[in-house]
C-alpha cells in the first residue's frame, strides 16, 4: 500500500539534490468542486522537487479516477485523470514575470511560507483536465441518445406523384 502524503510539503528544506515523494492523498482532504465532480479513488502522486540555481523546480505525476455527470443523460460516468505537470515554485508576493519568460513550458505555483499545498495543486489539475461540459465520450454509452433513437419513428414513405395519374385521368374525363 502506498504511503499517505501530507497535505503540504515544505520546500525550504530542499537541498541541491532533488527530493521525491510517492504516495496517495486521502479523499477527505478535498473540499472544492464536490458539486461538479467526485473522486472515485485516492489521488496517486509522485512529486519531485529540486532547487536548481535558486529556482524551485517541481514535477508532479497524478493519477485519479473522477466521476462526472453526463450533461445529456444526467447519468454518472468515470474519467481517468492521468497528468504529468512541471512547475516553478515561487513565494507568494514574489515577481513571477521573470520566471514565466525563462521557463515557457512550466507553470507557476505559489508557495505560502515556503510550503506547497498538494491538495490545492491536485484539485486545480483535476479541474483543468476534466471536460468543461461533461458528457459520455462515446455516443453509444449515453442513455439519452439510445432512448431518443428508440423513440424516432420511421417516416412513411412519401410519393409526391403517386396520385398524378389519377388526377390527370379525372381532369380529362370532365
> What pLDDT band is residue 11 in, cutting at 50, 70 and 90?
confident
Average of per-residue pLDDT across 156-164: 74
C-alpha cell at 15: 537541498
Res 22: pLDDT = 92
CA distance 119 to 30: 7
Per-residue cell: 18: 532533488
pLDDT (tens digit, 9 = 90+) per residue, 16-41?
678 889 999 988 888 766 667 888 88
Is 110 exposed, middle or buried (CB count within 10 Å of its CB: 0-12, 13-18, 19+)?
Answer: middle
d(CA 128, CA 6): 22
pLDDT, one tens digit per residue, over 64-102 is: 999 998 888 888 899 999 999 999 888 877 766 666 555
End-to-end CA distance of the chain: 95
Q: How many CB atoms lie within 10 A of CB 125?
A: 19
Predicted local confidence at residue 155, as pLDDT: 66
Evaluate if residue 130 carries a pLDDT over 70.
Answer: yes
Number of helices (H), then strands (E), in the chain: 4, 8
Judge contact between 20 and 32, C-beta under 8 A. Answer: no
Kindly give the residue spans of alpha helices, DSSP state H, lying in the chain.
97-102, 118-129, 143-151, 164-173
Domain boundaries, the chain: 8-173
Amino acid at each position: 500500500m502506498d504511503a499517505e502524503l501530507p497535505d503540504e510539503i515544505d520546500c525550504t528544506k530542499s537541498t541541491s539534490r532533488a527530493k521525491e515523494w510517492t504516495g496517495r492523498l486521502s479523499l477527505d482532504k478535498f473540499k472544492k468542486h464536490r458539486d461538479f465532480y467526485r473522486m472515485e479513488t485516492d489521488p496517486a502522486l509522485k512529486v519531485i522537487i529540486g532547487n536548481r540555481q535558486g529556482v524551485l523546480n517541481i514535477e508532479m505525476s497524478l493519477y485519479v479516477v473522477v466521476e462526472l455527470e453526463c450533461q445529456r443523460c444526467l447519468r454518472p460516468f468515470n474519467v481517468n485523470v492521468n497528468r504529468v505537470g512541471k512547475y516553478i515554485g515561487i513565494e507568494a508576493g514574489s515577481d513571477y514575470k521573470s520566471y514565466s519568460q525563462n521557463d515557457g513550458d512550466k507553470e507557476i505555483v505559489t508557495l505560502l511560507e515556503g510550503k506547497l499545498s498538494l491538495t490545492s495543486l491536485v484539485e486545480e489539475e483535476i479541474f483543468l483536465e476534466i471536460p468543461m461540459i461533461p458528457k459520455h465520450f462515446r455516443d453509444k454509452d449515453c442513455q439519452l441518445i439510445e432512448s431518443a433513437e428508440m423513440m424516432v419513428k420511421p417516416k412513411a414513405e412519401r410519393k409526391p406523384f403517386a396520385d398524378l395519374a389519377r388526377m390527370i385521368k379525372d381532369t380529362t374525363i370532365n
